[in-house]
A = this chain, B = another copy of it.
């Protein structure tokens, strides 16, 4: 009967995944009108990982590069990032957070962290850490299925270098 219990756990996890969107939407709601949650995620990744190419950012966001491209254009138009040509490969562009972008990101982080602090006031530090750890691992477990049929979590070292494509599979 362990197998049955396990199956039900997976069903329950699927439900929780489908429901967590409500929390995401609430966080997204406090973002300023000219910077959506998607754009904010780009800024956060650029601060966290430093300058990078479009393709690299697409991998980190786990979305198709066409999506990343639109976000980058939106942010560049507003002066929050730079897109300079990569001297090593003229097809590529290096994304770079500008001082203005960094300032904006600080404000966005303040808002979202503030909301979480308010809502999770009764959580212990350890519980928050646990949730982060498990969500990170969840993503890793789903991580590199975009190329090979088999997942391998590969507890990340810093650089997210994998063979996964930034093109959505058919």
Please provide the 3 A-B residue pairs with the shortest distance between their CB atoms, ordered closest to farther. A22-B62, A10-B113, A16-B135
As a 0/1 sequence over residues 14 to 48 of chain A, the CB contacts with chain B under 8 angstroms (1 = contact) are 11111111111111000000000100110011001
Distance (whole angstroms) from the CB of A15 to the closest CB of chain B: 6
- Please tell me if the beta carbons of B142 and A19 are within 8 angstroms of each other in the complex: no
- Please tell me if the beta carbons of B14 and A135 are within 8 angstroms of each other in the complex: no
A residues with a Cβ closer than 8 A to B are 2, 5-7, 9-27, 37, 40-41, 44-45, 48, 61-63, 109, 112-114, 116-123, 125, 127-132, 134-139, 141-142, 144-146, 148, 151, 153
- Please tell me if the beta carbons of A132 and B26 are within 8 angstroms of each other in the complex: no
Give 13 CB contacts A-B under 8 Å. A12-B148, A16-B139, A18-B27, A20-B20, A20-B135, A23-B139, A23-B142, A23-B144, A26-B142, A121-B151, A122-B141, A130-B130, A131-B135
